[in-house]
Amino acid sequence: MFEAYKKGLSKAKDFFKVKLDSSEDYYENLEESLISFDVSYEVTNKIISVMKKNKLNLKDSIKYLYKDYDPYHNRLNFSEGLTVYLFVGINGVGKTTTIAKLANQYSHKKTLLIAADTFRAGAKEQLKKWGEELNIEVFAKDVSDPSAVIYEGLEYAKSNNFELVFIDTAGRLQNKEPLMQEMDKMNRTIYKVLNKYPEETLLVIDATQGQNALFQAEYFNEVVKLTGIVMTKLDGTAKGGIIFSIKEKVNLFPKLIGLGEDKEDLRAFDLNAYVDNMMEE
């Protein structure tokens, strides 16, 4: 895992090293570097305060600030029966690809992908293509109501003894009220079929979008109760600090991070490995 983090976060580490080497005034330059790194002002001030108070270096200060972080409780949740993950997020963040990568990791379980993105043209075809490549069944219908697809898909999953279901949803930002109603209907549909809500409602965010990713986290957390975040494309950005800004706003660290394009590059988030490989001192 450490080598995957080292490779995937190399751009961020190179960026941070250059910024820190550019001034003699350490704390002033550190503040500028952290903010340039997409760490919010609030978190930056907390980190520097911990450094000064406890006489710690940068990495140890970040770890101290999040000393209550528990990797065990940040893992994906499963149930003894049918486990359901609902994926949300805007278009273009890698949501469908993330679903495919995660499904590939759980190929030992009988898994069904439900194509409930009825908004984007070609969405279900993309999911079907992944299903064919990974030999994983995809449930899709030619209807416009995503909740109808979810209802039939979950009934199919129950009848055929599936263990794991991933639900792909439409990715669009719009007025909160219609989206909230749509998400509420999806959750009520899941509860109607299974007598429970999804084990995970995961927001997929593109790390290269910087502060816009923070806006998405706040937005979707208002619309639907998120249980976790998947941060994609961290290998493509030099500004990995957005993770801490999102944690400050919605109190969630990622459960999964994308460190490359291969199916194996979707990794469980590890705070210590992330900090150790994200920045130079």
Note the pLDDT tens digit of each residue in 95-127. 999 999 999 999 899 999 999 999 888 889 999
Looking at residue 262, its pLDDT comes to 83
Strands (DSSP E) contained in the chain are: 83-88, 111-116, 137-139, 164-169, 200-206, 228-232, 254-258, 266-268
CA 220 to chain centre: 12
Among candidate residues 84, 73, 128, 139, the one with its CA nearest the CA of residue 106: 84
> What domains can be seen in the chain, in order of their start residue?
83-278 (3.40.50.300)
CA nearest to 98, candidates 204, 246, 188, 235: 204
* pTM score of the predicted model: 0.92
Q: How far is it, in rounded angstroms, from Cα 217 to Cα 148?
A: 27
Highest averaged pLDDT of the listed ranges 113-122, 178-187, 211-220, 244-253: 244-253
Provide the 3-class DSSP secondary structure of residue 204: strand
What is the tens place of the pLDDT at every residue in 194-219?
999 999 999 999 999 988 999 999 99
Helix (H) or strand (E) holding 57: none
Average pLDDT, the chain: 91
SS (H, E, C) 111-145: EEEEEECCCCCCHHHHHHHHHHHHCCEEECCCCCC
CA-nearest of 240, 243, 136, 153 to 189 is: 153
- Per DSSP, 254 falls in state E
Find residue 166's DSSP bridge partners: 85, 113
